[in-house]
């Protein structure tokens, strides 16, 4: 039962490799640069959102307001640029700031009023959706300018779509913060045992508030990328994506009770789900069957990880 | 409470035996916890079970309530023999109820719902719960015993004392004839204790037996018809009412182990510079007007009963809970405690409940040691793997943690090794002052000795230590000076004298008359 600390990522890599071999044998179209790029591209948004959403999750909480937040911030950035005439750079920075502030508010309620994060962010998901409806007047709006803004989502660098770089940077930074900084240690400690963390000099409330703030900021980044990528904004633009993010986190080995997790694992998890869906498409299996397969995969991943958690807690209880 | 009120009409009662245990033996894989113990409770008496920590009280209670099974011995309850395989359900069905320390009521439900949980009255025909009937039945029960409760109150709105009453009611509704109360007063106020005592008397008048477990001698003295004293897993004596006195109980609990070094310890004063100066500090409802000086390299023991304010005192001094009044000076400067400041200035804290407060179970030894040392490992936010590994190896070596593998998960270690990790994360720092609360609860003898050696070595190297312990041999053996708290105040200071566990316990129990000094 020891030396398990990093094995989830390695297991996932092995599964991914196996999946790739199987899919390339099943379909000649699979192992093409275009197809692979498409798969990774499709998980960009999940990757960006996971890089922040993992913090509340590791503290033992959850941020379910991601989807509404991304849609709302997409609408806001459009307002700033195309209705208020702001330059696209300050517009984006302001939007991220707004996302961070909403996250801060979520975190404050979770930490100080001690309400379960599930309820707090579920409420936020709902009222943020409402605010998005009001601000957008319930309409779907196309974004046709400015050009540099649209380049963020649709442009390419060295043949790869821009969002892939953005996601890679965010995931790398997030993984670095979690593994290599004092703050990351504190986040893990709060999730593993809040009281022990507090007695060891960690301020759990502060760590929680910062965690939700980060999640809010990455949700806003996700919202900006989504708006730029799809060139349109509307209140339901990212509806339900929080569940894809939670799926990626679970498959990636983030503990459902907090205390441990990995952004890289989450990204691998998201890619795995995308590969499976891609494979089903390539094999011409009709879309209604896809959720059955992905749901089963989530369950299997959970059972695998759960076994691991049991091993960790089982003997310890004595 | 005056002397007249104790044991009223005791003599008038029949001496019918309700519970009889003969030759009870229990061992948990190896060490014998109960060694051929005989124990009996009469119908309608208040019977106290006393003994030091580890004397075997809880194990005996667990056997009687079916929480664990005995290895040998016969138990007869209410005329029926109790089989070796005996579960909590069986005990309940037989009429044995336990009022738990951590209460077992379900929050969010009413008193009535809790009382009738699993045996709710149903409407005729449609088999749904008859709420009206249930509330009425509950209220009848409450009225019959004149408890200050209402059937329809939600549990969450009740104080601990009133929840205890609801538990007692639940037991009464189960027709319990033996009610076991384990330290029932540890979180009650004075008036609440008096209310509970009245109810215990009432239960006795209804011919219900109460088995009372407490460290508080004055309670045992006031309530008991008889007292059974256990020591080291053996029956020492059963005191009839005319022989019950706090001093006699303490004498029997401690026994004549005076020649042993562990319980008979010469306190030698340490007169180094003052590290911590505490003046008249008060935390409302927890402790009052506490003053003392702590010298360099001194081990200051804090004795007292559970609930006397010992843990609360060290928590406040470490900065977890606020101090309402009074002043503290640390290293000569005025100091307002806060956890972050404490850690930064060389203060450490080893909490009483290792699993709940001390360790990060899902994380490695290395990460556990790192968490109090982030200032060293990550002075500019980014952690240094090399320094982290060095600290972990250092801590493992100093504290002899087994296995000596920094990547081992702490949750998978034995209790003793978990405690060594908690110790290690402080020992790798430059400490000036360490608070230690109950360091050896649930730890095997070998690890205990090692932890004692660490504490002594630490003090010898100049670190000042405040040690809270209910383990009397531990307190007498390690301390250079002992303060005894009682009801939130310092009631006695032992310094420069010969100290025994008995003296501490007498002071903690509020027995003021002087014991002759055998020194």
B3-254 sits in which CATH class?
alpha beta
Sign of CA dihedral A182, A185, A191, A197: negative
pLDDT at B2 (0 to 100): 43
| Prior bond of B403 cis (ω within 30°) | yes
Cα–Cα dist B244/B235, whole Å:
16
Domain ranges of chain A: 7-13+24-308
**What whole-number distance in Å separates Cα of residue A105 and Cα of residue B417?**
41
**B382 to chain A: closest CA residue:** A181
Q: Measured between beta carbons, which residues in chain B are less than 8 angstroms from residue A2?
A: 405, 407-409, 412
Q: What is the four-CA torsion angle of A126, A130, A135, A140, rounded to 10 degrees?
A: 90
Reported as a pLDDT band with limits 50, 70 and 90, residue B103 is low
Residue from B337, B360, B396, B403 whose CB has the most chain A CBs within 10 Å, to mutate: B360
DSSP for B185-239 reads TTT--HHHHHHHHHHHHHHHHTT-EEEEE-S-HHHHHHH-SEEEEEETTEEEEEE
**Percentage of residues in chain B having pLDDT higher than 70:** 93
Tell me the CB-side half-sphere exposure of residue A240, using CA atoms within 13 A. Answer: 0
Angstroms from A104 CA to nearest CA on chain B: 21
pLDDT digit string, tens, across residues B265-311: 778 778 889 999 999 999 988 899 999 999 999 999 999 887 788 99
pLDDT at B122: 85
Diameter over CA atoms, chain B: 81
Asked whether this complex has an ipTM greater than 0.85, the answer is no
Which pairs with CB-CB distance under 8 Å and at least 24 residues apart come from B173-177? B173/B115, B173/B116, B173/B138, B173/B141, B174/B92, B174/B95, B174/B97, B175/B95, B176/B92, B176/B95, B176/B96, B176/B97, B176/B208, B177/B18, B177/B43, B177/B78, B177/B95, B177/B96, B177/B207, B177/B208, B177/B209
A203 and chain B: CB distance < 8 Å anywhere? yes
* A192 interface with B at CB cutoff 8 Å: yes
Q: What is the pLDDT of residue A318?
A: 28
- B447 falls in which pLDDT band (50, 70, 90)? confident
B6 backbone dihedrals φ, ψ, rounded to 5°: -80, 140
> How do residues A9-26 score in pLDDT, each as one tens digit?
888 888 888 888 888 888
**A89-121 pLDDT per residue, tens:** 999 999 999 999 999 999 999 999 988 999 999
Does B362 contact A313 at a Cβ distance shorter than 8 Å?
yes
Count of residues making up chain A:
318
**Closest listed residue to residue B183, CA positions, set B289, B285, B53, B323:** B53
**Apex B372 CA angle, A208 and B470, nearest 5:** 105
Rounded to whole angstroms, the Cα distance separating B308 from B305 reads 5
pLDDT at A68: 95
B378–chain A Cβ distance below 8 A for any pair: yes
**Which segments within B108-194 are labelled E, that is strand?**
178-182
CB–CB of A316 and B382 under 8 A? no
Bridge-based pairing of strands B481-486 and B299-304 is parallel
Q: Which residue has the higher pLDDT, B6 or A291?
A: A291
> Is the CB of A199 less than 8 angstroms away from the CB of B357?
yes
CATH number corresponding to A7-13+24-308:
1.10.3470
Per-residue confidence at A71, pLDDT binned at 50, 70, 90? very high
Q: What is the pLDDT of residue B101?
A: 60
Nearest CA in chain B to A313: B411
Q: What is the mean pLDDT of chain A?
A: 88
Query: CB A182 to CB B374 under 8 A?
Result: yes
Residue A232 pLDDT more than 50? Answer: yes
Hey, is the C-beta of B356 within 8 angstroms of any chain A C-beta?
A: yes
Residues of chain B numbered 199-238 and touching chain A (CB < 8 Å): none
Distance, CA of B254 to chain centre: 18
Is the pLDDT at B247 greater than 90, yes or no? no
Question: Residue B365's closest CA among B435, B445, B419?
Answer: B419
* pLDDT score of A308: 54
Which residue intervals of chain A are DSSP H helices?
7-26, 33-42, 44-58, 66-82, 88-112, 117-135, 147-154, 162-180, 182-192, 194-199, 204-230, 241-251, 263-282, 290-314
Separation CA A185–CA B376 (nearest Å): 13
Residue B288: CB partners within 8 Å, gap ≥ 6?
A: B282, B488, B489
Q: Which residues, 6 or more positions from B437, have their beta carbon under 8 angstroms from its beta carbon? A: B310, B311, B314, B349, B350, B351, B352, B468
Q: Which CATH number fits domain B256-346+431-519: 3.40.50.300, 1.20.80.10, 3.30.470.10, 3.40.50.2300?
A: 3.40.50.300
SS3 B322: coil
pLDDT digits (tens, 9 = 90+) for B331-362: 989 999 999 999 999 999 999 888 888 899 88
- CATH 3.40.50.300, chain B: domain bounds: 3-254, 256-346+431-519
Instruction: Quickly state the pLDDT bin for A81 (edges 50, 70, 90).
Output: very high
On whether any CB of chain B is under 8 Å from the CB of A186, the answer is yes
Angle, helices A263-282 vs A33-42, to 10°: value is: 130
Q: From CA A251, how far away is CA A265, in angstroms rounded?
A: 7
Q: Is residue A196 within 8 angstroms of chain B, CB to CB?
A: yes
CA nearest B355 in A: which residue?
A196
- In angstroms, what separates the C-alpha of B106 from chain A's closest C-alpha? 19
Going by pLDDT thresholds of 50, 70 and 90, the confidence category of residue B10 is very low
B383 CB within 8 Å of a chain A CB: yes
């Amino acid at each position: 039962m020891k030396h398990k600390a990093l094995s989830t990522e390695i297991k996932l890599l092995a599964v991914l490799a196996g999946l790739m071999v199987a899919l390339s044998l099943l379909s000649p179209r699979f192992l093409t640069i275009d197809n692979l790029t498409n798969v990774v591209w499709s998980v960009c948004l999940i990757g960006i959102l996971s890089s922040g959403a993992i913090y509340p999750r590791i503290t033992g909480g959850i941020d379910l307001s991601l989807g509404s937040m991304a849609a709302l911030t997409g609408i806001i950035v459009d307002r700033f640029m195309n209705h208020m005439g702001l330059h696209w750079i300050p517009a984006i920075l302001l939007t991220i700031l707004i996302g961070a502030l909403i996250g801060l508010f979520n975190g404050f309620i979770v930490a100080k009023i001690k309400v379960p994060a599930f309820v707090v962010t579920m409420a936020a998901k709902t009222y943020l959706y409402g605010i998005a409806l009001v601000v957008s007047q319930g309409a779907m709006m196309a974004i046709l300018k400015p050009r540099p803004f649209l380049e963020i989502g649709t442009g390419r660098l060295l043949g790869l779509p821009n969002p892939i770089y953005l996601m890679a940077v965010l995931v790398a930074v997030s993984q670095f913060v979690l593994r290599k900084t004092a703050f990351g240690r504190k986040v893990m400690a709060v999730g593993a045992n809040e009281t022990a963390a507090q007695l060891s000099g960690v301020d759990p409330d502060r760590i929680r508030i910062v965690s939700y703030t980060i999640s809010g900021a990455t949700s806003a980044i996700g919202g900006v990328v989504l708006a730029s990528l799809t060139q349109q904004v509307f209140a339901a633009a990212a509806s339900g994506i929080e569940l894809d993010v939670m799926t990626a986190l679970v498959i990636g080995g983030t503990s459902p009770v907090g205390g441990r997790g990995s952004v890289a694992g989450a990204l691998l998890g998201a890619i795995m789900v995308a590969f499976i869906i891609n494979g089903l498409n390539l094999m011409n299996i009709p879309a209604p069957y896809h959720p059955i397969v992905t749901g089963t995969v989530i369950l299997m991943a959970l059972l695998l990880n759960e076994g691991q958690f049991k091993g960790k807690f089982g003997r310890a209880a004595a | 409470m005056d002397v007249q009120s104790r044991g009223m009409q005791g003599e008038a009662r029949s001496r019918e035996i309700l519970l009889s245990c003969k030759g009870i033996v229990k061992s948990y894989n190896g060490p014998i916890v109960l060694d051929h113990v005989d124990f009996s409770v009469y119908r309608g008496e208040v019977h106290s079970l006393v003994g030091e920590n580890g004397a075997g009280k809880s194990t005996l209670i667990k056997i009687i309530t079916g929480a664990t099974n005995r290895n040998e011995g016969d138990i007869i309850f209410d005329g029926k023999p109790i089989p070796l395989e005996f579960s909590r359900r069986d005990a309940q069905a037989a009429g044995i109820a336990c009022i738990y320390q951590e209460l077992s009521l379900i929050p969010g439900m009413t008193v009535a719902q809790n009382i009738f949980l699993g045996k709710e009255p149903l409407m005729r025909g449609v088999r749904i719960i008859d709420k009206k009937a249930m509330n009425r039945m509950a209220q009848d029960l409450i009225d019959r015993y004149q408890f200050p409760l209402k059937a329809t109150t939600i549990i969450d709105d009740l104080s601990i004392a009133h929840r205890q009453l609801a538990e007692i009611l639940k037991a009464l509704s189960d027709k319990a004839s033996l009610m076991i109360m384990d330290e029932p007063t540890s979180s009650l106020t004075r008036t609440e204790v008096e209310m509970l005592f009245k109810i215990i008397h009432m239960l006795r008048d209804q011919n219900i037996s109460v088995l009372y477990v407490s460290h508080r001698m004055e309670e045992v003295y006031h309530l008991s018809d008889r007292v059974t004293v256990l020591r080291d897993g053996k029956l020492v004596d059963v005191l009839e009412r005319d022989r019950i006195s706090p001093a006699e109980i303490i004498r029997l609990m401690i026994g004549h182990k005076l020649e042993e070094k562990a319980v008979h310890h010469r306190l030698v004063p340490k007169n180094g510079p003052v590290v911590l100066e505490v003046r008249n500090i008060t935390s409302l409802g927890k402790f009052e007007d506490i003053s003392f000086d702590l010298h360099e390299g001194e081990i200051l023991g804090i004795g007292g009963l559970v609930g006397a304010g010992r843990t609360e005192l060290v928590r406040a001094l470490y900065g977890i809970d606020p101090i309402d009044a009074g002043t503290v000076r640390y290293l000569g400067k005025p100091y307002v405690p806060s956890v972050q400041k404490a850690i930064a200035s060389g203060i450490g804290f080893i909490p009483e409940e290792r699993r709940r407060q001390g360790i990060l179970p899902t994380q490695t030894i290395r990460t556990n040691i790192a968490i109090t040392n982030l200032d060293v490992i990550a002075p500019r936010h980014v952690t240094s793997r090399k320094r982290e590994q060095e600290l972990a190896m250092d801590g493992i070596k100093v504290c002899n943690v087994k296995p000596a593998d920094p990547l081992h998960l702490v949750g998978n270690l034995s209790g003793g090794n978990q405690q060594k990790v908690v110790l290690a994360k402080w020992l790798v720092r430059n400490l000036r002052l360490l608070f230690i609360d109950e360091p050896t609860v649930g730890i095997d003898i070998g690890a205990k000795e090692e932890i004692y050696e660490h504490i002594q070595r630490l003090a010898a190297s100049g670190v000042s230590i405040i040690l809270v312990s209910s383990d009397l041999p531990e307190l007498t053996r390690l301390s250079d000076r002992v303060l005894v708290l009682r009801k939130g105040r310092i009631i006695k200071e032992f310094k420069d004298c010969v100290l025994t566990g008995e003296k501490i316990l007498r002071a903690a129990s509020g027995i003021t008359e002087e014991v002759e000094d055998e020194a």
